[in-house]
Amino acid sequence: MAAWEKVKFFYDTMLGTPGSTLAATSTTSSGDYSVDYLYNMLEVNMWMAADTTDPLYITFDAGTGNTADADYIVIWGHNLATAGATVSLQYSDDNFSLDINEVFAPEAVTTDAVYVKEFTSPGPRRYWRVEITGHTAPPQMTICLWGNKTELDYATASFDPYAQEVKANVNISQGGYLAGIHTMYTERQMTLTFNNADSVLYDRIRSWWETSGVKNFFVAWDHANSPGDVFLMRPDQRFKNPFKSGGIYRDITINLQGRKE
């Protein structure tokens, strides 16, 4: 097995930045399925295409005079594998008139679980778009965002990336017999500890907190060796990472939870 990678957070995105727009080639009008739902980080709404238009594009324009950078894309709560879709991410300097560039080669989505692709940044560009091809059913997504990942460090205390708690009402009779179970959902739980953290690591974590706050985001505990283990989670509502004696290093603890897919 290869050496572990450092913990990574995927939350930064160009989508929704001031002056920018996001548009889809096709959006169903049968309900509330706006393409702008793709970056609100909620699990209760989604974008859905109206038909099987192929190719289908989700296009971002940073706005006049603006550019944005990216080195990852994540898609969650989708049907792309079931629909037989292939995905790529492209950028352009002329709104895809003549200048069309792929940041990675089109690839088939093999599971309807979270899709995460890291790539080498092409540098800041004004226009970006997701290209979806080959689908036999209208594509749909709950979350789709691209931007710059945040690489933290190796956790300094043991943790279980698969820790979970079943949220259920369990009925026990007076005699101690199991009389019934109503399972609501399963919650993932993860605690990341970074002891003796320097100012570089703390600044990255503080930037995440100030930008993302208590919203959902994606965390990968070892993306190289466990690429499917990228979880949608949210932090506690308290941000508190005290200095150690001497005032140079900090002990950082991040408690995370999120609904298991």
pLDDT in tens, 47-95: 999 999 999 999 999 999 999 999 999 999 999 999 999 999 999 999 9
* 199: pLDDT strictly greater than 80: yes
pTM of the complete model: 0.94
> Of 119, 149, 179, at which residue does a domain stop?
149
Overall domain count for the chain: 2
Is the domain of 140 the same as that of 202?
Answer: no
Tell me whether residue 186 is in a domain.
Answer: yes
Is the domain of 112 the same as that of 200?
Answer: no
DSSP lists the bridge partners of residue 169 as 182
Rounded to whole angstroms, the Cα distance separating 18 from 66 reads 9
Is the domain of 21 the same as that of 123?
Answer: yes
Task: Report pLDDT for 244.
Answer: 82
pLDDT in tens, 205-259: 999 999 999 999 999 999 989 999 999 999 999 998 888 877 789 999 999 999 9
DSSP code per residue over 172-220: E-TTS-EEEEEEEEEEEEEEEEEEEE-HHHHHHHHHHHHHHTTS-EEEE
Tell me whether residue 154 is in a domain.
Answer: no
Rounded to whole angstroms, the Cα distance separating 246 from 199 reads 13
Q: Quick one: average pLDDT of 140-146?
A: 98
Domain extent for 170: 164-259
Task: Report pLDDT for 21.
Answer: 98
Tell me whether residue 196 is in a domain.
Answer: yes
> Of 103, 123, 149, at which residue does a domain stop?
149
Task: Report pLDDT for 261.
Answer: 86
Tell me whether residue 6 is in a domain.
Answer: no
Is the domain of 21 the same as that of 100?
Answer: yes
Is the domain of 129 the same as that of 190?
Answer: no
Tell me whether residue 3 is in a domain.
Answer: no
Tell me whether residue 157 is in a domain.
Answer: no
**Dihedral angle of Cα 208, 211, 212, 218, to the nearest 10 degrees:** -50
DSSP letter (8 states) at residue 39? G
* C-beta neighbour count of 188 within 10 angstroms: 19
What CATH number is given to the structural domain containing 68? 2.60.120.260
Task: Report pLDDT for 4.
Answer: 80
